[in-house]
Amino acid sequence: MIETPISPEVKKQHFRDRSDEVLERKITVENINSYVNDAVSDLIRLTDELVESYKADTTDLDPNLSGKEIEDLAYVAYGLPNINDYLGVAQEKIKELEEIDSFIEERVVHINEVITPPNKDAKMPTHIGEEIYARPGTKNRLKTLLYVLKESGIDFEKIQIQEGVVSQEMVRWLSYFSVEVPEIDRLILVCDEEQNASYVFDTEKLKLLGLSISDINRMLKPELNQFIADHPGVGVRFIQSKNWRNRLELFLLEEIPSQKIADLDLSEKPEKRDVSDVPNVSNIELDPWKRFLTDNDSGKHWGPIWTIAERLSVNNMRLLRIAKSNNLESRKIRDVIGRERDCYCYEELEKLAEVFTSVPQVAKEGVWKGFLTDDDSGKHWGPIKALIRRFGLSRQTISKIAKSNNLESRKIRDVIGSERDCYCYEELEEKFRR
């Protein structure tokens, strides 16, 4: 039987669909640890198939072309973006997720009490019928929560995380995490063990009710559920589902709904009003310009101030002042979760911010994170905050030693791009030894 040749248009659509499936794949609690490796493997496999198909369809292919040149021609022939750009972003995504892992390791505070105690009547089962009780699996809820916060531009320095203890009488093997995010007035209770619901509370509304974060942390699960039912719009309970991340984003960055979760359609992120005429930034995980809108005419990129500031490693407020003082044009664009934002042109701000981006910046990762390593001397310069962490001493002590000894200071940008007076770690260490 003779096979019917596949038309070029059918092939193009096939490869476009394959590409879209990979690029539009979202990070979830289930795949956050494997997402990048899976995406890279799928993109490399797709590239290999593209090249093979292109070679088979091209009768006059130049034999002197390199593999990279053939790949580029194949992308163009099938109407696809250059996948190598996405592979570069994947490497950055690995670093981003590693930073979140480090943040969890370094910043979680362990407290000697149970957070979100279970029902007092709950007992640890040993058998179910004739089968031995199996320990539940885990979901990476805390890591996914922090990823969502990072993607939304939340300042990690202000986030407070507590992890409690688990008693022998409890069914649960893992503690809940209590995560306070002052920037958006939220308290989140999440547990990485399956079969445990997640909770989000509006901390401003809790204060009006005379309740502290500790009060919420100590409530039994039945008490939490009753409290949420009695105070609509103050808190919300939701269980694991395919829409867990969508729900989380909604409850973090929009008003907490007063209706029951079952009444909400969260298969897609809900729109509060008709904003069909307001364009969206890219929300593709591996897009080199994710969180920006690319202008089709000029090729320039528009995004919220915090997104541009992160890319340029410049302080948010400083960049906003530059935009305002230069009367830069802003456009109304929806961010990754649908909020309408004033957005500015990255290329315009990049040019205006050169005077600040030329100032050296401390390392954002590694053993000497928070310090700038001098290439000539090998010495390490850091702001007072970083020196406090290194020496374990107070701000007053470090400042007093630096000033009384007339130690040299240098203007260096810290991890979030703010210009700081920085001192040499080794010089301070020598003074302390004396």
N-terminal to C-terminal alpha carbon distance within the chain: 90
Residue bearing the bigger pLDDT, 306 or 269? 306
pLDDT at 384 over 50: yes
Top pLDDT among 245 and 122 is at 245
pLDDT digits 0-9 by tens, 118-175 = 876 655 554 445 455 556 788 899 999 999 998 887 888 889 999 999 887 788 889 9
Of 212-226, 272-286, 371-385, 407-421, which gets the smallest average pLDDT?
Answer: 272-286
Whole-model pTM?
0.72
Nearest 5 degrees, angle CA 229-CA 235-CA 236?
80
Between 100 and 136, the higher pLDDT residue: 100
The encoded tokens of residue 174 equal: 């893992």
Question: What is the tens place of the pLDDT at every residue in 344-377?
Answer: 999 999 999 887 788 899 998 788 989 999 999 9
- Pairing assessment for the beta strands 160-163 and 108-110 based on DSSP bridges: parallel
Q: Which pLDDT band holds residue 274 (cuts at 50, 70, 90)? A: very low
Confidence of residue 271 (pLDDT cuts 50, 70, 90): very low
Of the spans 56-70, 228-242, 251-265, which averages the highest pLDDT?
Answer: 228-242
Stronger pLDDT, 313 or 382, i.e. the higher one: 382
Banded model confidence at residue 378, pLDDT cuts 50, 70, 90: very high
Residue 266 has pLDDT above 50, yes or no: no
Task: Write the pLDDT tens digit of every residue in 106-122.
Answer: 889 999 999 999 876 65
Residue 211's pLDDT is what? Answer: 96
Question: Is residue 272 pLDDT above 50, yes or no?
Answer: no
Q: What is the pLDDT of residue 425?
A: 96
% of the chain exceeding 90 in pLDDT: 53
Specify the pLDDT at position 429.
93
The pLDDT value recorded for residue 51 is 92
pLDDT at 17: 92
Quick check: 176 and 191 in contact, CB under 8 A?
yes
Query: In this predicted model, what pLDDT tens digit does every residue of 170-220 receive, in sequence order?
Result: 888 899 999 999 988 999 999 999 989 999 999 999 999 999 999 999 999
Report the candidate in 272, 271, 189, 193 with the shortest Cα–Cα distance to residue 238: 189
**Ramachandran region of residue 6, left (φ > 0), alpha (ψ -120 to 50) or beta?**
beta
Which residues on neighbouring strands pair with residue 176, listed in sequence order? 191
User: Is 269's pLDDT higher than 80?
Assistant: no
Number of residues that this document lists for the chain: 434
Asked if the model's pLDDT at residue 414 lies above 60, the reply is yes
19 pLDDT above the threshold of 50:
yes
Of 263 and 374, which is predicted with more confidence?
374
- Confidence at residue 325, expressed as pLDDT on a 0 to 100 scale: 92
Give the integer Cα–Cα distance in Å for 404 and 307: 40
